[in-house]
Structure 1
């Protein structure tokens, strides 16, 4: 069975973007929690992206709706997980993500940090890396319990061992003095003992606070078997992102190829062919997989014709759809050099009918500027303009600075 690029783009619109639409097999989404469940996880490295990823998919939701899910109901939780990246996941999925992804990340981060403490020059000199790290952890936990929530600067004052510094070893511009604060908080986040909370100041601020994970899970994150958790995480990802390749799953999870193959083998899945080449060109086919429960017929139902034909979206940096696969040509086309930075991070993108067609940026006053990289017709331009106007209203006259700058982003800012 072959799944064409057009069919994949249609499913992308129905299952990932137009989540407020009515249709067979897809109940309309109405909450930030439901958006996150449909997408498995939202990228949270760049502070504004979580809010914007939700607002792009469900008209009627607001910045406050997302904030309440994150910090009032605490039904969405920030975790350091797949690919050593910060994500927001539904509370019920936290144990699966923790065992299936975060645990392996935590072990690698702790091993690396201990090695750096033992081999790099530090101020003061560290004679016993394990003892220093244990003492610093104890200071962090005591400070958070007694004084929390605290941001990184407050923590470094309350837990003085965090001010232990790694000294430069080269004359490179990037090789600067850095303290223990950030790497240790990454370790503790991946281990599930601390959680990133609400930012200080504006909703888009990168200055976030930390709290003990016990504030979210009083009895700790429920423990699961790692192999079983990987199977469940693969099932959730394939339900949202399949049909896809095992290489896509491997990349998204950060697993090795053996772990990805074993997880898929434990599922009720079938092998398929998926087209991975750019739209409008000779098909490029790869071996793929999909859950047998995947209802492609519903996604292809004519009831969704108008939804797909008229759908435009403005997705934020590191959006879960833009970053959902490692093979992206089938929805990205030739636009990668302009819309991704040199490290492979996606900027803010304009979508039309399930494919990337341009970019957008927020102005300091909250107005949205955008540019198309291909002709989408008068209807497409009108739909994009309407989405930009809707988002401008939601931002309420306040802009923000995305954390990842792409070539086209720079051009749009310079043109403003």
Structure 2
């Protein structure tokens, strides 16, 4: 496939012009960024801002502007605190229902979930680490090993009781949603309970930051039904340009002209974290790589994405950071031959990369 789509999406994603003044503004524009690789998603937010500062991301965490939750697909996402409640209420249902089977396998029931909820409410009058929360649960007979603690925490986050909040030096502490999230931002408070309006707002942000993209991309991303997505699209279709294809793509007005005007800038080499939305934000990732290269990016298709090297809208290699603090080494495993000029620019990118810790 032509690299044009990849280059255009790089511009939409803010990776070329870095248009968002703060990490919180970037996360708000995206609505959610996939975040199971915590250092990676923090870097993803920084990479879309002019400052490219990891400290700015950590400040937004500590001051409660961004959090992580489980809004959809059973996957943790970095999200704006002001939007976490309504997005989770809109999208979390399918993943919670799917998790109920696993809950039974783990020997967990509603009584135990209720106890976990009550103990969390008692402990989290101030932020605590996940390990501290699990210790409290263990002390009261809620065995957390074997995935049980993780599963209990998933349920409490997906139901809107707790979220991952401030940075504690190595991870995010767990906090009560009622104390940490701005009030009145559930579906009822933001949209008077109108699911179509909420879907339209989430779709608006998705298409603005990831377009050109289709409604099927969005339905895959959220796991909302196509019928629900199309009702939301009907409310905002006129806000976007489209190609009019049988399966149409949509994008923000002016995007194609902006990408064209940026010229060679869209072909500059980039280093991205492993789970960046440029790679994971679409149902079909082959717009940015071949099948063989995809297998090298996600070995064994095991869901673990390596850090990507992007050139001209295409994934052309993976990269690692090895060694001990103070003696880190930058290594690239290219999928294609890279020129010395590209290699030198990648070294500069590495030196400026927003790592969360050295």
Q: Secondary structure of 2:212's match? A: coil
Q: By how many angstroms is 1:212 displaced?
A: 0.5
Q: Deviations over 1:146-190 (max 9, x none)?
A: xx3222332233234774349xxxxxxxxxx62632111101101
TM-score normalised by the chain length of structure 1: 0.73
**TM-score normalised per structure 2:** 0.84
2:58 maps to which of 64, 67, 78? 67
Cross-structure match for 1:183: 151
Partner of 2:314: 355
Contact kept? 2:69, 2:76, Cα under 8 Å: yes
Change (3 A) 1:85 1:351: same
Provide the rounded CA distance (Å) in 2 between the counterparts of 1:86 and 1:152.
Answer: 14
1:49 aligns with 2:33: no
Shift of 1:71: 1.3
Tell which structure's C-alpha radius of gyration is larger. 1
**Does the C-alpha gap of structure 1 residues 162 and 253 become closer, same or farther in structure 2, counting only changes over 3 Å?**
farther
Given that residues 259 and 266 in structure 2 are in contact (C-alpha distance below 8 angstroms), is that contact kept between their aligned partners in structure 1? no
The equivalent of 2:178 in structure 1 is 214
Q: 1:209 to 1:297 in 2, by over 3 A?
A: closer
What's the Cα RMSD here? 2.9
> Judging changes above 3 Å, is the alpha-carbon distance between structure 1 residues 59 and 314 closer, same or farther for their aligned structure 2 residues?
farther
Greater Cα offset, 227-236 or 53-62: 53-62
Q: Where do residues 295-334 of structure 1 align in structure 2 (5 Å cutoff)? A: 295-302=254-261, 304-309=262-267, 311-334=268-291
Match for 1:241 among 178, 193, 210? 210
Alpha-carbon separation, structure 1, partners of 2:58 and 2:348: 25
**Unaligned runs of at least 5 residues, structure 2:** none
Give CA deviations for 1:210-241 in whole Å, capped at 9, x if unaligned.
Answer: 11012223646433333332221112111121
Measured at CA, do residues 227 and 37 of structure 1 come closer, stay the same or move farther in structure 2, by a change above 3 Å? Answer: same
CA distance in 2, matches of 1:214, 1:6: 45
Shift of 1:17: 4.3
Mean CA deviation greater in 228-237 or 96-105? 96-105
Quick check: 1:143 aligned with 2:143?
A: no
Secondary structure at 1:361 match in 2: strand
Secondary structure of the equivalent of 2:333?
Answer: strand
Shift in alpha-carbon separation, 1:273–1:351, aligned structure 2, 3 A: farther
The residue number in structure 2 matching 1:130 is 110
Question: Structure 2 residue aligned with 1:260, among 221, 225, 229?
Answer: 229
Whether 2:105 is the aligned partner of 1:105: answer no
Equivalent positions of 1:5-24 (< 5 A) are 5-20=2-17
Q: By how many angstroms is 1:307 displaced?
A: 1.7
Secondary structure class of the residue paired with 2:278: coil
1:100-158 deviations in whole A, cap 9, x for unaligned?
A: 2134434543x4366x0xxx475xxx7xx33332233212211212xx32223322332
SS, match of residue 211 in structure 1: strand
Matched positions, count: 346
Q: How does 1:224-239 map to 2 (within 5 A)?
A: 224=188, 225=193, 226-239=195-208
1:87 to 49, 56, 77: 77
Question: What is the distance in 2 between the residues matched to 1:132 and 1:158?
Answer: 13
Pick aligned residue for 1:367 from 317, 329, 332 = 329
Where relative contact order (Cα < 8 A, 6+ residues apart) is larger, the structure is 2
Per the alignment, residue 163 of structure 2 pairs with: 195
Does the CA contact (< 8 Å) of 2:82 and 2:182 recur in 1? Answer: no
The verdict on how the C-alpha distance between 1:354 and 1:132 changes in structure 2, with shifts beyond 3 A counting, is same
Instruction: Give the alignment of 1:331-410 within 5 angstroms.
Output: 331-334=288-291, 335-341=293-299, 342-364=301-323, 365=325, 366-391=328-353, 395=355, 398=358
CA deviation string 1:257-297 (max 9, x = no partner): 333333334431565367xxxxxxxxxxx722315x53234
